[in-house]
Amino acid sequence: MEELPTQTYRVTRADLVRYAGASGDFNVIHWSERLATKVGLPGVIAHGMLTMALAGRAVTTWAGSADAVVDFNVRFSRPVPVPDDDEGTEIEFRGVVKGETEDGLTQIDITATCHGEKVLSQARAIVRRHHA
C-alpha cells in the first residue's frame, strides 16, 4: 500500500461566495450563520460540490494531470463548517493506492477530514498513473 502526499486546502467564507457565484448555488446555509444554525447546522457550511472539487484537485495532483482521472466518486458524510474569520478552515486529503486493475489503472482510496472529522466517505478514484 502506497500512501500519497497529503494535500491540504483552505476554505474561507470568501471562497464560498465565489463558489456560489460560479455554481449558482446560493442556498442560505452557505452564507447565513443565523439561518444555517436555525436548520440545525453548526454554522455556515461549505458546498458539498466544492469539497468534492477539492478532493478532485488532490486526485489530479497525485495522478499528475486532470486527464489521468478515469473515475471519481464520493459520498458526503459530514458538513464542513466555515467560520466567519480570515482563516476559514482546512480540509486535508490523504490518498492510499489500493492496487491496479488488469488494464493498468490505479485505484486510490481518499480520506478527507476537517478538524479530525471525516467529511467524505467511500471516496475513490481510478487513475492512469504517469510513471517516470
**What's the burial of 80, exposed, middle or buried (CB within 10 Å: 0-12/13-18/19+)?**
buried
Torsion of the alpha carbons at 106, 71, 122 and 94, rounded to the nearest 10: 50
- Assign 132 a pLDDT band (cuts: 50, 70, 90): very low
pLDDT tens track for 11-30: 999 999 999 999 999 999 99
| The residue to which cell 489521468 is assigned | 68
Predicted confidence (pLDDT) at residue 9 exceeds the cutoff of 70: yes
CA distance 113 to 91: 6
Q: pTM, whole model, 2 decimals?
A: 0.94
- Assign 109 a pLDDT band (cuts: 50, 70, 90): very high
Determine what percent of the chain is predicted with pLDDT higher than 90.
Answer: 95
Classify strands 69-76 and 89-100 as parallel, antiparallel or unpaired: unpaired
**What's the burial of 40, exposed, middle or buried (CB within 10 Å: 0-12/13-18/19+)?**
exposed
- Assign 1 a pLDDT band (cuts: 50, 70, 90): confident
Predicted confidence (pLDDT) at residue 113 exceeds the cutoff of 70: yes
CA distance 104 to 111: 23
pLDDT number for residue 131: 56
Structural domains of the chain ordered from first start: 3-10+47-127 (3.10.129.10)
| Mean pLDDT for the stretch of residues 64-86 | 97
| Mean pLDDT for the stretch of residues 79-88 | 97
| Mean pLDDT for the stretch of residues 88-115 | 96
CA distance 4 to 108: 9
- The region that residue 3 occupies, defined by phi over 0 for left and psi between -120 and 50 for alpha, beta otherwise, is beta
Task: List 3's β-bridge partners, or say none.
Answer: 96
